[in-house]
Amino acid sequence: PDLANEVYIHNFPATPLWPKTIEGISLKDFDRLSIDMILMSPPCQPFTRIGRQGDVSDPRTRSFLYILDILPRLAKLPKYLLLENVKGFETSSARDELIRTLEKCGFTYQEFLLSPTCLGIPNSRLRYFLIASLQSEPFPFQDPGKILTDFPSQEPASSETSSVPAASAKHSSPKAAKDLGSGYDNDGRQRPQDFLFKLETAEQLERKQQVDRDLSVQMLKAYLQDDDGEEMSQFFLPAKSLLRYAFLLDIVTPSCRRSTCFTKGYGHYIEGTGSVLQTAEEIQLESVFKSFEGLSEDEKLTKLSMLKLRYFTPREIANLQGFPPEFGFPDKVTTKQRYRLLGNSLNVHVVSKLISILVG
């Protein structure tokens, strides 16, 4: 939290920031602020598939439950509320408690499962969102009991609006399935299947190719930095990582229209933490991995080195997540710390569009 606060102050020096926990803000403090909007992104670990799924019993949900407890007791309710969390939150007890509180306070709300790919951004980051308003009239696109899987046209809900029943939202929607078409589950871990080469099935390869043919999504090259210069050399994968994890890497090229979700472990851990970039686009991936097992370590390394694989830089991940060019980090923040902060962040364009829909 302290490091995130430092980065925030670095970018928004004129904005007041309270270096305290949510539970440290009293009811009197909240009433004095007389806030119009609450934006929440509670810790996701209690709800993620690779966590213990402690839900409301996890101590990390205390700040969220504190907000739910204090909300009905405010002298003046906020007009708007937006919450973000991982896919999996929609089936939690914490979500049920949130809905009960919103209904008790008289909020109108709508739930979503959205990824930046909905906006043509070539990065999969499927997340749960909820928007709520104190307005007496329902949203024009509202679909009670359903979780929308695309942005609404702000016309009355119709068959053109993709949605899944809230009760069965733990199953991927068609759009979510397309978004996760790289052979990875919602938390970025590779699904076990029968493989061709590079631990990928024919179905997974076809899904990747299908995404790359979707012209509504931009190519990655629009988000990349110049590859020239010594500064970029630090991001190339070391020989040890290439040899040990070659079959687990999700490899993309600048002309691809997809990348997997970047997590806080990116650059430190390999499996399921995000895609790596093949900068030698002229090399066919299949030619490198076919008959790979029969080679010596030196021969394997020679083949893999042809691909010129590197990590996405923190600036490139920030670009994919919608941070403006002027966004930056204090010089003392290390590359590893930048990856961690970005991996715990969210997509600015997705949130800003939801806010515009909420208040529009």
Burial class for 236, CB neighbours closer than 10 Å (0-12, 13-18, 19+) = middle
8 A C-beta contact, residue 6 and residue 330? yes
Which residues, other chains included, contact 220 with Cβ-Cβ below 8 Å and sequence gap of 6+?
A: 122, 252, 253, 254, 255, 256, 257, 258, 259, 277
Q: How far apart are CA 290 and CA 298, in angstroms?
A: 16
Catalytic residue among 44, 118, 256, 261: 44
Distance CA 288, CA 305 (A): 10
Cα→Cα distances 115→46, 105, 123, 294, Å:
21, 29, 8, 40
Tell me, yes or no, if 261 is annotated catalytic. no
| CB crowding 110-144: b at 16 or more within 10 Å, else e | bbbbbbbbbbebbbbbbbbbbbbbeeeeebebebe
Q: Which residues are catalytic?
A: 44
